[in-house]
Amino acid sequence: MGLLEFSKLPVNTLVGADWKTFKEMTRGQEIAPDKRTKYYLTKSVCRLLSLLAPIQDRRFEEKLGAYEFDHDPVFILGHWRSGTTFVHNIFAQDDNFCYTTTYQTVFPHLMMFGQPFFKKTMGWLMPDKRPTDNMELAPDLPQEEEFALSNMMPYSFYDFWFFPQKWQEYCDKYLTFENITKEELQVFKETFVKLMKISRYCTTGGDVYLSKNPPHTGRVKALVEMFPNAKFIYLMRNPYTVFESTRSFFSNTIKPLELQHISDEEMEKNILLTYTKLYRAYEEQKKYVPEGNLFEVKFEDFEADAFGTTKLAYEKLGIREFHCAEAAIRRYTDRKKGYKKNKYEYKPRTIQLVNENWGYALKDWDYEIHP
């Protein structure tokens, strides 16, 4: 158990941003009066740690500037709370993969310099469970790279955690790339590749980058442009469960990170609208994935036979010979068989909102529609 509770953090994750990103992201933003202490404390720590960023930049150019991956990445896609973390952790048992860790997402500029000290400190302070479920947390566990990207550039969808009043603006620009400029898209591509290279350098895994990042679900076209032979695993989960779980997750995550407020009603509307935009973007863009490079599965089916479905994904996508990772994956899936998930009872309001707003997803994926 860490010394700090996530809900009581005195700073937010922007402490790990570089100074240029912090300034551009926060320029002209409204800071709520009761969040100013957190803002100024975060700003101060960020300014101090940013003094170390040039050390990593120099080392990156010296060691990794010309580095090229031998294989394109594997992307795990799906809306938040669709089981992507569970699948990510399973695939990460394969030492053929490298990935971005929880530590690296918060301190992406302190990966090639200072990592042992800062990681140890982070592990001492951070909670050992996620605030919304029973999934374990640790500095070295695989994590979604959007948190790192939000600390490396001002063009990340996760900027909405800090400035939720611009949620839909960030959604259209940086989640689905519908309104992103050419210059911003180029920065995204360069920053993402840089993060991949440094994560590869700083972890003990292999040469295939393993990504689990829900925002990538709306960026498939751009990802295929970057990595023509990338493999994609798309997870779909019961929309009633996703709504209840996402509302809980976003509510518990946004409160410690936000620097301005929105009402619960506004958050609910944003969740409903973002799901639809992400769903439509994926359905429109998946046609760009080459035949044989996309594996779609219901999370309920995956969870019922995690080991068998993982093996099937390896075979369908031609990732590599499954027997090379079979023992490690078997150990992990066997260990997780007793995992206790949060249980959700679908309240009448949940059923009404999902039926009215996400009914298409229930029908597309043949889920039971509650009256």
149 and 158 in contact (C-beta within 8 Å)? yes
Domain that holds residue 77: 6-365
Residue 244, domain member (yes or no): yes
Contacts of 177 (CB under 8 A, 6+ apart): 185, 218, 219, 221, 222
The pLDDT score that the predictor gives to residue 123 is 63
Distances (CA, A) of 367 to 43, 79, 157, 337: 46, 16, 29, 24
- 130-174 confidence digits (pLDDT tens): 555 556 666 778 899 999 999 999 999 999 999 999 999 999 999
15 and 118 in contact (C-beta within 8 Å)? no
Contacts of 42 (CB under 8 A, 6+ apart): 11, 12, 14, 15
Number of domains within the chain: 1
Residue 126, domain member (yes or no): yes
Helix then strand count (H, E) for the chain reads 16, 5
Residue 134, domain member (yes or no): yes
CA atoms within 13 A of residue 182's CA, in its CB half-sphere = 0
Distances (CA, A) of 339 to 125, 134, 314, 330: 25, 8, 24, 15
Give residue 350's Cα distance to chain centre. Answer: 25
Residue 120, domain member (yes or no): yes
Residue 324, domain member (yes or no): yes
Which CATH number covers residue 35? 3.40.50.300
The pLDDT score that the predictor gives to residue 3 is 47
Closest CA to 147 of 157, 135, 133, 136: 157
What b-and-e string marks burial along 268-283, b requiring 16 or more CB atoms within 10 Å of the CB? bbbbbebbebbbebbe
Q: Parallel, antiparallel, or unpaired: how do β-strands 97-98 and 231-236 relate?
A: unpaired
Residue-wise pLDDT tens for the chain (371 aa)?
A: 444 566 677 889 999 999 999 999 999 999 999 999 999 999 999 999 999 999 999 999 998 888 889 899 999 999 999 999 999 999 999 999 999 998 889 888 988 877 777 677 666 556 565 555 556 666 778 899 999 999 999 999 999 999 999 999 999 999 999 999 999 999 999 999 999 999 998 876 788 999 999 999 999 999 999 999 999 999 999 999 999 999 998 988 888 899 999 999 999 999 999 999 999 999 999 999 999 999 999 999 999 999 999 999 999 999 988 999 999 999 999 998 765 565 667 899 999 999 999 999 999 999 999 98
The pLDDT score that the predictor gives to residue 345 is 76
Residue 371, domain member (yes or no): no
Tell me how far apart the alpha carbons of residues 199 and 250 are, in angstroms, rounded to a whole number. 27
Which phi-psi region, left, alpha or beta, contains residue 177 (left: φ > 0; alpha: ψ -120 to 50)? left
Tell me how far apart the alpha carbons of residues 126 and 105 are, in angstroms, rounded to a whole number. 14
Which phi-psi region, left, alpha or beta, contains residue 290 (left: φ > 0; alpha: ψ -120 to 50)? beta
Residue 61, domain member (yes or no): yes
Secondary element (H or E) of residue 297 = strand 294-298
Partner residues linked to 98 by β-bridges: 209
Tell me how far apart the alpha carbons of residues 239 and 236 are, in angstroms, rounded to a whole number. 8
Contacts of 182 (CB under 8 A, 6+ apart): none
Tell me how far apart the alpha carbons of residues 4 and 16 are, in angstroms, rounded to a whole number. 17
Tell me how far apart the alpha carbons of residues 25 and 163 are, in angstroms, rounded to a whole number. 9
- 301-310 confidence digits (pLDDT tens): 999 999 999 9
Distances (CA, A) of 51 to 24, 40, 160, 206: 17, 17, 26, 31
Angle at 44 between CA 43 and CA 46, to 5 degrees: 65
Residue 211, domain member (yes or no): yes
The torsion angles phi and psi of 24, rounded to 5 degrees, stand at -70, -40
